[in-house]
Amino acid sequence: MQLRRLGRELKVSPVGLGCMGMSFSYGGQEERAAIATLHKAIDIGVTHFDTAELYGPFENERLLGKAFKGRRGKVTIATKFGYKYSDCGKGFDRVLGLDSTPENVKAAAEASLKRLNTDVIDVYYQHRVDPAVPIEETVGAMADLVQAGKVRALGLSEVSSGTIRRAHAIHPISAIQSEYSLWSREPEADVLPTCRELGIGFVAYSPLGRGLLTGTMDQPGALSKEDWRLTLPRFQPGNMDANKDLLKTLAEIAAMKGVSAAQISLAWVLHQGDDIVAIPGSRKIHHLKENVQAGFINLSDAEILEISSAISSDKVAGKRYSASDLDHIDG
C-alpha cells in the first residue's frame, strides 16, 4: 500500500487497525484469536495500530505488547492517555474522570511503555481534552516525553480547531484523531482545514459507523449484551429502522461497483484527502482483509458526489454519541 504521512515524523498504511474492540466495549475477543488477527494485519501490509490505556482498561495495550514481540520494527503504535481510574470494577466503571495534568501525562506514558513492551510510543494522544488543565500545560508535558525519546510524535483526539492551534504553538502536533465517516462529517467544517493549514495528519476512527455502515447490522439484537454500542443513539431500534433507507442506497452503490458496503464506506473516507488515514476496527481476519482491500478501490468524482449526497450526516437519525459522551468532546 502507498503510505500516507502523519505530520513530519511518520508514514503509515492508509488503512490501519483500531484495536479497541479486541478488549473493550464491543464484547472483547479471545486472546489467541486477537493475536492471530494482529499478525495477519502485519502480513498484509497494515503498519498503523491504534490503542489506548482506556481500552480494558489497560488490557488492550498488554495484548499489543504480546502480539508485537519480535515484530516491533514493522508497526507504528499509537496510544492515548487522559483518564484516572479506580482499582476495582470493569470497563467504564473504573473511570473516575479526566486527568491531563503534567504528572499524569508522564506517569501514564511510563505505564503504557511497560504494557506495550516497547521503548518508544510512536504517536501519543491526549484522549479527551481536560477542561481543568490548560492544553498548553498538557502538551508541554507531552513534549518533554518527545525530548526524552519516549515518544516520537504527538496527537490529540476529538479537539476543536482552536485547541489544535494552541497545542501546535507549544509543540508540533502530528495527528488529530476524530470520528469521521459518511454520516459523521463534523471535522469537515473546521478541523480538517486547520490540519491541512498546519501540516497535521488526520486519523479517522469509526469510519464504518461502528459497524452500521457495513450494511450487515439490522437490529441491536445482533450485538452482545456487553456491547457498549447499545448505549448509543444510532443503535436504538427506532433510529436503526429510520436509517435503513440510507443503508439500502449504500448497498446498491456497492453492488454496482462489485464490492461491499463496508468497502465503499471506507474508500469514500480515504478519497477525502491523501492526508487522511482510517483505523477501522476488526476482530475477524476476513473483515480485516476486506478493509485493507478498500484502500485499492478507485472512486470517480461523480461517484464520490453520488455517495456523499445519498448518505449524508444531515439525513441520519440519532446522534453519534450519548449526551454524556458528547460533553467530553472539545468544541
61-75 per-position pLDDT tens digit = 999 999 999 999 999
**Cα(215)–Cα(154) distance, rounded to whole angstroms?**
35
In 3D, which of 170, 145, 142, 169 has the Cα closest to residue 155? 142
Classify the C-alpha dihedral 234-237-243-249 as positive or negative. positive
Name the catalytic one among 26, 55, 124, 321: 55
Residue 218: per-residue pLDDT: 64
Within 13 Å and on the Cβ side, how many CA atoms surround 302? 0
In the chain, what percentage of residues exceed pLDDT 90? 79
CA dihedral of residues 67, 73, 75, 76 (deg, nearest 10):
120
Torsion of CA 199, 77, 146, 82, to 10 degrees: 90
Mean pLDDT comparison of 198-207, 215-224, 313-322, highest-scoring range: 198-207
Report the CATH architecture of 4-211+270-297: Alpha-Beta Barrel (3.20)
Based on the residue annotation, tell me whether 55 is a catalytic residue of this protein.
yes
Distance CA 181, CA 213 (A): 9
Per-residue model confidence as pLDDT tens digits over 259-290: 999 999 999 999 999 999 999 999 999 999 99
Q: What is the per-residue pLDDT across 112-159, written as a single tens digit (0 to 9) for each?
A: 999 999 999 999 999 999 999 999 999 999 999 999 999 999 999 999
pLDDT tens sequence across 50-101 = 999 999 999 999 999 999 999 999 999 999 999 999 998 888 889 999 999 9
Element (H, E) at 201: strand 201-205
**Pairwise CA distance, residues 120 & 134, whole Å:** 25
What mean pLDDT comes out for the span 237-265? 90
Helix (H) or strand (E) holding 261: helix 261-270
